[in-house]
Structure 1
Amino acid sequence: MSAGGQDLDSAADEHGTGAEQRDAGHGDTAEHGATAFSAVGSGERGAAVPPDDGRFRLVLVRHGRTDSNVRHALDTALPGAPLDDRGLAQADDVAGLLTGWPVHAVYSSRAARAQQTAAPVAAALGLDVELLTGAHEVFAGELDMATDEASRAVFDETFAAWFTGDPGRAMPGGESGRDVWARFLPDLARVTAGAESGRTGAVVVVSHGAAIRLAAMALLSGVDGSGTERPDAAAGKDHPIPNSGRVVLRRDPDGWTVELWDPLPRKRS
């Protein structure tokens, strides 16, 4: 698996739903820096609720599956493809996983697939979906909607460079890592305001694979000024997020900490 765009809106590395998830199982998330509440390291994606520990949590959720994922197309422009039938089922499934969480608000990127994923999550929690202007996927420019291996290789190489000291490098005719930070991090700062001074509960932000991984790096490394750098700040480089997968960051006094990173499902033998 490549380091870069395997969970961009091009790959069908999706979670199954219901019994399929339990049958397939999920790997231990400890390698991603998760500091456990009961779901972490259990071998499957469970609906455990985080402890009532007075901490605030940012729940980043990747959208469900689309036809572009199945075709391995680099689908990065707005509004993008809608969810397919499996993606709609995944959205319902992740809504079930988050029922009972102390969520105060549900946000979504402007992409159709993200809004469709956020809708059942918000409904399950009795909330409305609020749109974020900067939470959409990394724009691949000239590579947008490409399906060939050469284009994917260019995307992956550029994406990897953002994690190894060159976030200013841009996709051909598209965005750089710094461009994505410039639009996404202000949104995250707004929706998590007060987390550093005692705010509790959680917010859900439905976004996209590459954008979530890049934003998580910024928060975990303190690029946004939110805290000190974590040892696993670059975990997103080599850990794609499956369709409807969650990345949960907990706000500690000295910055953000990875609490849960849904792994790719194990392939059946």
Structure 2
Amino acid sequence: MTTQILFIRHGETAWNRIKRIQGHIDIPLAGSGIGQAGQLGRRLAAEAQAGARLDAIWSSDLLRAQQTAQPVSEALGLPVRLAEGLRERHYGAFQGHDSEQIAERFPDEYAHWQTRDPGFAPPEGESQREFYHRVLHALEPLLAAHPDGRIAVVTHGGVLDCVYRFANGFTLEAPRNWPLLNAGVNVVDFETDGYVTQARVVAWGDVAHLGGVSADDGFKRTPEPGR
């Protein structure tokens, strides 16, 4: 059975702009993110009118994802179903800080983090390996509920990264060179037999509904002009 999922990263938040790690902290969308969510809703409504079926809308239970899903829900008349397993990675003590602050406050842990060791977990947080398997397990009941269906999943950059790595066979240690864009649409087909067996990326990083412009996920602050 093939289930197609439209993975959508939440719209922009104030913390996205300053590269502050959110993790499980429940940050709302910025005004720009609310605008992006509206544009997303209009896009998917237009696609539905043109005959593109959408069977369900799933979302991380964090506010920024729910707020992004809401205009789609209203446009298509579908409820938003919540799944805690679709949350962003838990960054523990790193949450609420940017990379420069983490390097200053947790120098040893920061150095370990930079090695890309998938077994490393921030203090009180989740390792990349634990997070990856949590994401794949969270998808299994969604796929089981929608065999041969087409659904939207509104989630976070880290979740999208896990999905892309799984679909393309990339290791957790491999540096990322694919986009994770606010309110971007990323389409993946899953072949299943009771559990996830294979995935194929159909389209990635589509932000045509945003005029082709959206910010990428990442932890490094962008230098201000003249600095």
Q: TM-score range by the shorter chain?
A: 0.7 to 0.9
Q: Deviations over 1:141-177 (max 9, x none)?
A: 121111243637977974872xxxx432223431112
Q: Match for 2:21: what amino acid?
A: L
Could you list the per-position Cα deviations for residues 200-224 of structure 1 after superposition, in whole angstroms to 9, with x for gaps in the alignment? 3311111110122123323x2xxxx
User: How far apart in 2 are the matches of 1:57 and 1:123?
Assistant: 21
Query: Counterparts in 2 of 1:203-222, with a 5 A limit?
Result: 203-218=151-166, 220=167
2:5 — aligned with what? 58
Q: TM-score, normalised by structure 2?
A: 0.73
Paired residue secondary structure (1:188): helix
Distance in 1 between residues matched to 2:139 and 2:32, nearest whole Å: 28
Give the total of aligned pairs: 196
TM-score of the two chains, using structure 1 as the length reference: 0.63
Question: Within 1, Cα distance between the matches of 2:153 and 2:111?
Answer: 24
Q: Helix, strand or coil: the match of 1:103?
A: coil
Partner SS state of residue 86, structure 2: coil
CA-to-aligned-CA distance 1:79-123 (integer Å, 9 cap, x gap)? x21111110110111122222131111111111100000111122
Equivalent residue, structure 1, for 2:39: 93
SS at match of 1:134: helix
Residue in structure 1 matched with residue 28 of structure 2 by the alignment: 82
**Alpha-carbon distance change, 156 to 246 in structure 1, aligned in 2, over 3 angstroms:** farther
Give SS of 1:60's match.
strand
**Which of 162, 167, 176 lines up with 1:237 in the alignment?**
176
Gaps of 5+ in 2: 215-227
The answer on 1:260 being equivalent to 2:203 is: yes
Residue 95 of structure 2: aligned partner: 144
Aligned-pair distance for 1:240? 3.0
By how many angstroms is 1:183 displaced?
3.0
Q: Distance in 2 between matches of 1:141 and 1:109?
A: 18
Tell me how large the CA RMSD over aligned residues is.
3.1
Q: In structure 2, what is the Cα distance between the partners aligned to 1:115 and 1:167?
A: 28
In the alignment, which of 58, 61, 74 is matched to residue 110 of structure 1? 61
Distance 2:29 2:171 in 1: 30
Q: Identify which of 83, 88, 92 aligns with 1:132.
A: 83
Assess, with a 3 A threshold, how the Cα gap between structure 1 residues 151 and 243 changes in structure 2: closer, same or farther. Answer: same
Partners of 2:20 and 2:187 in 1: how far apart?
27
Residue in structure 2 matched with residue 68 of structure 1 by the alignment? 15
Gaps of 5+ in 1: 1-53, 221-229
